Homo-oligomer: A and B are copies of this chain.
Amino acid sequence: MSAETERAWEYVLRTIETDLLSGALKPGDRLPPERTLAAHLSVGRSSVREAFRVLEVLGLIRTASGSGPQAGAIIVATPSGGMSALMRLQVAATGFAVADIVSTRLLLETSVAAELAATDADTTAPRQLLSAMDSPGLSEAEFLALDAQFHVSLAEASGNVVVAAMMAGLRSSIESYVLRAVPNLESWERTSARLRTEHAAILAAIESGQVAEARELVHDHISHYYAESHLTRDAASVA
């Protein structure tokens, strides 16, 4: 147990966190200008900036140059961005194995689907994404982006923000791998058609309240695709 001296930017971060917890700061509020806050906390402006960078990447603030009410650092609390950055970098640094990402996604999404089927949640968002994926002339990347949004929208429909953020993070963390694995597919045409069919079946099972069916369909949908694209294998052989 050493003195564990706190660095200046950590002090700034801790101060802001305290203000958030006490309610002195809340989403929509504007943080003081960097120079003012630096003077107020008796630290250099660079230390304030380092703390702000962290807050920005974590999705807590949004910064904008210029003047007026939209400029400065504003508290936003949009978790998906930070979750995505965290998971993406951890996967890049091999702190997270792609196989673990996939199985976590499987775990979360089957539970979400089961819960959605058990309740009667609003499914308009996934419905719209479903029809958007039927548009002709979509590129592979565009289709997969809509696909990702569809799955995230299911999590959002559950009303659990944390799970939704995790789903978004999990997805974006392996986005580059998924794109790179597309050529591994035997036929993109056939696969995308199957994905569309499966999406429709999943949504139908959810809307009709078939809990076990929804869970099963989601499980097969996800694991089937990853197996088909040989994603986990390729991820291991990237190095």
- A interface, CB within 8 angstroms of B: 9, 17, 20-21, 23, 25-27, 46, 49-51, 53-55, 57-60, 75, 77-79, 82-83, 85-90, 92-97, 100-101, 103-104, 107-108, 111, 159-163, 165-166, 170, 176, 238-239
- Shortest C-beta distance, A115 to chain B (Å), equals 8
List of 8 A-B pairs having minimum Cβ-Cβ separation, nearest first: A77-B95, A20-B92, A77-B93, A50-B53, A100-B162, A23-B239, A104-B162, A100-B160
Interface residues of A, dominant DSSP: helix
Alpha-carbon separation in the docked complex, A238 to B163 (Å): 23
**Contact indicator A92/B54 (Cβ below 8 Å):** no
Residues from chain B with a CB closer than 8 A to the CB of A94 are 26-27, 77
What is the chain B residue whose CB lies nearest that of A107?
B111
**Contact indicator B88/A161 (Cβ below 8 Å):** no
Alpha-carbon separation in the docked complex, A17 to B84 (Å): 13
Of the A-B pairs whose beta carbons lie under 8 Å apart in the complex, a sample of 6, sorted by A's number, is A21-B176, A27-B93, A46-B46, A49-B50, A53-B54, A58-B89
Residues from chain B with a CB closer than 8 A to the CB of A78 are 95
Alpha-carbon separation in the docked complex, A21 to B87 (Å): 13
**Contact indicator B166/A90 (Cβ below 8 Å):** no
- Shortest C-beta distance, A45 to chain B (Å), equals 10
Alpha-carbon separation in the docked complex, A85 to B57 (Å): 11
**Contact indicator A163/B95 (Cβ below 8 Å):** no
